[in-house]
Structure 1
Amino acid sequence: MAWRPGDPPGRRTALVRVRTDSGLTGYGEASPMMGGDHSLLVTRDFSASLTGADPFDQAVIQDRLLHRYIKLGPEGAVTGALAALDIALWDLKGKILGLPIHKLMGGAWRNELPFYASVGGNAERGVDEMLRVVEARWTSEKPAAIKIRWDGDRTRQDYDIPGDIAKARAVRDLVGPDYPLAFDANNQYSVGGAIRVGRVLEELGYLWFEEPVQHYDVRAMGEVAQRLDITVSAAEQTYTTQALVDMISAGVRMVQPDIVKMGGITGLMQCAAICFAHGVELVPHQTQPGIGHVANLHLLSTIMHNTKPAEFADPDDRMLPGIPNMPRPSGGCFALPQGPGLGLDFDDAEIDARRI
C-alpha cells in the first residue's frame, strides 16, 4: 500500500484482508521490510489454505502454515506474513463476537497507555539539528519518555563514538536530570564500543540501551548486557519464541519483539508468558503508524507488569485516509480502542485506491 504517490518502500504498508462468507472482514499488517513485499508474496500462497477455515482456529492456522513454509524461514518473510494473518483473524473474532481484542485476551489492566517518543534518524544529524527535532516532539506530544534512535550504517562499527556521546549528553541537558530517556544504537557498536558508550549512558541516567551490537550476535549482546548496569534491550529482530529464549538465556533482561514480525497477537502472547516466567521486561518494538500500532496497544493493555511506555515512532498521518479513526496521542497517552476487534474503521475505497 502506497499511501501517497511516490512513497518509497520504507513508507509503504503491507495490509492483509481476510473476508468471511458472512461479509465480515479482518485486517492485519505485515512486517514493513522492503515495503512488505517479501511477506505479501508469502501471504498470497496462504490463500488456498484459508478457504473454508474457521477464524477461531487462528493458532492452528498459524502453526500449520509456519511448518508448511518452514524452509523459507522460519524467520523473516514467513513470520511477518503470519503476523499479518494472525492480527486479521483476531480482528475478525472480535467483530464476530462484538468485543474488542483486549477483552478476548482476558481483559485490559488500563484503558490509557503512556507512550515514549521514538525519534529516529540521528546518525546523520548534527547535535543542534537533533535537539530541534527532539524538542519539537517533547513539547508537542508530552511523551512519558523519549528514545533517540541512530538508524545508521550497520557496516560502520564504532564510527563516531565521541559524537554519539555528545548527542546523548545534549539531549540529557535539554530535558533535565530526571526525565526518562533511552538510546537505540541500531546495532552499530562492537562489544568494546558498546561498553564505552553504555558507561556514559549510565552516568547520564538513561533507562535503557537498545541493540548496541549486531542483533544476530546473541553472545555479544549478552556480554554487553551482563557487563553494564544500564538495562540492555534487544530482540526487535527476533522472529521466534526459541530465539527469544536464547536472547534471555544470554543475559538480556528487556526484550522487544515486534507484533508485525513475531507471529502477531498470538506470538506476542507467547512472548509475554515467556517473559513473565523468566522475570524479564517485555517492551515491544513498534514503528508502524496503523494496524500494528493498534494491535500492540491491545496487547500491552493486557499485561499486568507493563513497566515501560509503548513505542510511538516518528509521527505519520499517511494512513488516515484509509483508517480515519486512528488513535491520536493526547497528554502523553493513547486511549485503548473499545470497538469490536481492533476497534478501527476501514475505508476500503480509499485503501483500494492506494494499492500497488
Structure 2
Amino acid sequence: MHITGYRTLTTVQEWGRPVGDANGVFADGVTPISIVLVDTDEGITGVGLGPHLDIDTIFAAIEGEDPRSVTALYDRMLRQTFKAGHAGCVFGTIGALDTALWDIKAKAAGEPLWRLLGGRDRTVPAYASGLDIGLTDDQLVAVYREYAEHGLQAAKLKGGLDVERDKHRLTLVRQVLAEAGPARRPGLMLDANECWTRKQAVRHVGEIEQAIDLIWVEEPVRRWDADGLAAVSRGVRASVATGENLTGLEQYRPLIVAGAVDIVQAAAVWGISHFLRVATLAHAHDLPVSPIGTTPIALLHAATSVPNHLTSELQDLHTPIGVSVDLEVEDGSFVLGESPGIGVTVDEDVIAASTRRPQTAATDSPGVRPEHAGRRLLAVAER
C-alpha cells in the first residue's frame, strides 16, 4: 500500500449559540473545521481533522510511503520542518496527516483504532465544556442541562474576567448538575485561557475556592511559564491543567520538571502520535492526561490504550456539517463504535453544497490575545 495524494476541505461547526473564552467570542456561533483526506493506491482514504498550512511541504515527507508505517512517518514529517520549526499551525498540519495515517492503518486492519492500539474498553469518561463565556444565565443553564441529560457530572466553564461573575456561573452549573444526578457530587473546572498574571490567578482562584471546590484551573497564566504555573499550583487547592497549546515533547519537559502541571492536556488537532507520546511522558511522572478538542474522536481511541487517561473534553453534542462520527454519549461517557478506523465519515457533497461560512476573524475572536490580557486591574464589563 502506498500514499498517492491528499485533499483538503473546510466545513463549519454550528454551535447554535455564541462560543468563546476570555480572549473573545464568536458571536454567530459558527467556527471553521479543516479536514485533510489522504488517499492510497488501494482505495483506502484516511481522515484527519486539522489545519492545512504548509501541507505541500509536509506531505512530501510521506508521499509514496506505506501509510501503515505511521510512527516512522510522523518523525519524517517533524524532520521535514527542521529549520523552520514545527510549532503552531504547522504542527496541526502534521497532526492532521498523522491522524489520517492512523485511520488508514486501522481501516486496512479492519478494526476500530481503539482496538488496534490495544484498548479494551471503548467507553471513555467525559466532562462538559460549553465555550460558554458569552452566554446569558438562561443560556448557560440550558446548555449544561442538555449535557446533564447525557449523564455528564463534570463541567468546565470559561472565565477569568470577573471573579463574582465566575462564582455565580459556577454555582448555576453546579446546581444544574446536582439536580440531574443527585447521587454524585458535581465536578467543576475553570478555564482562564492564559488571561492572568501569577498573582491574579492565585487571588482569583483563591476567592472562588472559598465557596466552590474546583477540580482544576486551566491555563491560568501563559502556556510556557513554568515558574508561573508552578506558583499557581502551589498557591491554590485546585490542580493546574495545561498543554492543549503545546506542540512537541520539548515544550512539556520544562513544565513537568518545574512541577508546573498537575493535569497534562493534549489537543486533538495535534494528532494521535503526539498524544501517545505526551501520555507516556506524563505517565513516567505519575501524571494524568486529558484530551482537548471540539471533536476529539481520534484521541478518544488513543485514550483507551493509555493507563493514565483521566477524562476527555466534550464540547458539542453535534458534529460539523458533512461530518458524521461513530460515537455515542451515554451515562457521562463517550462510547466508541466498531467502525474500522477512527469512525469519521466525510460527505464531500454536503460540504460543497453548504453555504454556511464562519465570519472573518475579528480582533475580538478567541484566537487573538487582547491587548490588556494579564494587565487588567478591574473586571471586564459583561459581554
What band does the TM-score fall into relative to the shorter chain? 0.7 to 0.9
Alignment check: 8 A CA contact 1:201 1:230 kept: no
Counterpart mapping for 1:253-268 below 5 A: 253-261=262-270, 264-268=271-275
**Equivalent-residue separation in structure 2 for 1:57 and 1:332 (angstroms):** 35
Say if 1:334 and 1:214 are closer, same or farther in 2 by CA, change over 3 A: same
Among 223, 237, 240, which residue is 2:231 paired with? 223
Counterpart mapping for 1:1-356 below 5 A: 1-3=10-12, 11-30=31-50, 39-105=51-117, 107-122=118-133, 124-125=134-135, 128-129=137-138, 131-150=140-159, 159-176=161-178, 178-203=185-210, 204-251=212-259, 252-261=261-270, 264-287=271-294, 289=295, 293-307=296-310, 309-319=311-321, 321-323=322-324, 325-353=325-353
Alignment check: 8 A CA contact 1:165 1:197 kept: no
Cα shift at 1:248? 1.4
Q: Which moved more, 1:295-304 or 1:340-349?
A: 340-349
1:268-326 deviation digits (Å, cap 9, x = unpaired): 11111101100111112122x3xxx210210111122333x32101333333x342x44
Q: Structure 1 length normalisation: TM-score? A: 0.83
Say if 1:3 and 1:235 are closer, same or farther in 2 by CA, change over 3 A: closer
**1:112 is aligned with what amino acid?**
T
**1:245 is aligned with what amino acid?**
R
Say if 1:276 and 1:64 are closer, same or farther in 2 by CA, change over 3 A: same
Instruction: Give the secondary structure class of the aligned counterpart of 2:52.
Output: helix
**Equivalent-residue separation in structure 2 for 1:259 and 1:139 (angstroms):** 23
Alignment check: 8 A CA contact 1:117 1:137 kept: no
Could you list the runs of 5+ residues in structure 1 that have no partner in the other structure? 31-38, 151-157
| Identical amino acids, percent of aligned pairs | 28
**Equivalent-residue separation in structure 1 for 2:329 and 2:135 (angstroms):** 26
**Equivalent-residue separation in structure 2 for 1:327 and 1:78 (angstroms):** 28
**Equivalent-residue separation in structure 2 for 1:9 and 1:168 (angstroms):** 22
Alignment check: 8 A CA contact 1:109 1:304 kept: no
Q: Structure 2 length normalisation: TM-score? A: 0.77
Instruction: Give the secondary structure class of the aligned counterpart of 1:338.
Output: coil
Alignment check: 8 A CA contact 2:58 2:80 kept: no
Cα shift at 1:10? 6.4
Instruction: Give the secondary structure class of the aligned counterpart of 2:327.
Output: coil
Say if 1:144 and 1:70 are closer, same or farther in 2 by CA, change over 3 A: farther
Instruction: Give the secondary structure class of the aligned counterpart of 1:72.
Output: coil
Say if 1:216 and 1:305 are closer, same or farther in 2 by CA, change over 3 A: closer
**Equivalent-residue separation in structure 1 for 2:60 and 2:352 (angstroms):** 22
Say if 1:9 and 1:144 are closer, same or farther in 2 by CA, change over 3 A: closer
Alignment check: 8 A CA contact 2:216 2:238 kept: yes
1:85-141 deviation digits (Å, cap 9, x = unpaired): 111001111111112212222x2242222311102132x445x34642454334433
**Equivalent-residue separation in structure 2 for 1:42 and 1:231 (angstroms):** 37
Could you list the runs of 5+ residues in structure 2 that have no partner in the other structure? 1-9, 15-25, 179-183, 358-383
**2:41 is aligned with what amino acid?**
D
Say if 1:139 and 1:284 are closer, same or farther in 2 by CA, change over 3 A: closer
Instruction: Give the secondary structure class of the aligned counterpart of 1:183.
Output: strand
Higher helix proportion: 1
**Equivalent-residue separation in structure 1 for 2:341 and 2:229 (angstroms):** 37
Instruction: Give the secondary structure class of the aligned counterpart of 2:156.
Output: strand
Higher strand proportion: 2
